[in-house]
Amino acid sequence: MIALLSSMSFESDVLCSKLKKVLMAEVAGKKVYKGRLSGLNILLINTGIGEVNTAHTATAVVENYPVDKIINMGVGGAYSGSGLAPGNVAVASKEIFGDNGVISSKGWKDMKEIGIPVLRKGRYKYFNEFPLSSPSQTFFKAKGTREIKIRSGPFITVGSATGTQKRARELEKMFGGICENMEGAAVAQVCTIYGIPMIEVRGISNIVGIRDKRRWRLKEASENCQKVVLSLLEFI
């Protein structure tokens, strides 16, 4: 069973329309669409925006269903040095909490500065970063993804969306991130707690920096993201 999580319904509406043998349920106050897609058992849920909504929903899903894998999907902004443009798709190699830490007179420091990891699991300590599952290189050459530019790299999760070029450059330089979002690291932490593999796929709607919504391509970003997720399901 694979759970597809997106924060908003427009980020999953194409895949939702393709589900077969759909049964409706509810978990943690959220609608759950349970059905079949590409020969797989699928759960599709809209979490709501932000880290808390997403972590709450992801936890409720894995506590109530025998989930084998989570795919977190949606739209996001690309950092200027990523080589990505609106309409392209990014796949996360790891998720990073971009604003969890300390702001001092010398600038921002991550959770290692505090000395307390956000998660301990066995001998591993997780401060700001969570490595993720990533499709093999074979997938990126597979049918259905060739017409869409896809790049893999670190994603950065923030509580406040970046709205200046200065801050965008700072985050990109600190973490080497290619894509900014507001939920992914929270899902990654939940998946790490439960030992569930996670893949994150996001369509690029805009370049991170000055927020000019006239240049955003939300619909194209969402549709291309869902095309790639569908190809990923078929590949799986």
Tell me: pLDDT of 144 over 70.
no
Is the distance from CB of 6 to CB of 71 less than 8 angstroms? no
Whole-structure pTM value: 0.93
Range scoring the smallest mean pLDDT among 83-97, 139-153, 187-201: 139-153
| pLDDT at 141 (0 to 100) | 59
% pLDDT > 90, the chain: 86
Which residues does residue 24 pair with via DSSP β-bridges, in sequence order?
33
Specify the number of domains making up the chain: 1
Q: What is the dihedral of CA 117, 118, 121, 122, to 10 degrees?
A: 10
CATH number for the domain spanning 203: value is 3.40.50.1580
Q: Is 141 helix (H, G, I), strand (E, B) or coil?
A: coil
Is the distance from CB of 61 to CB of 3 less than 8 angstroms? yes
Domain, as residue range, for 136: 2-235
Which DSSP helix (H) or strand (E) runs through 112?
helix 111-114
Sign of the dihedral through C-alpha 174, 78, 126, 185: positive
- Comparing 83 with 135, the larger pLDDT belongs to 83
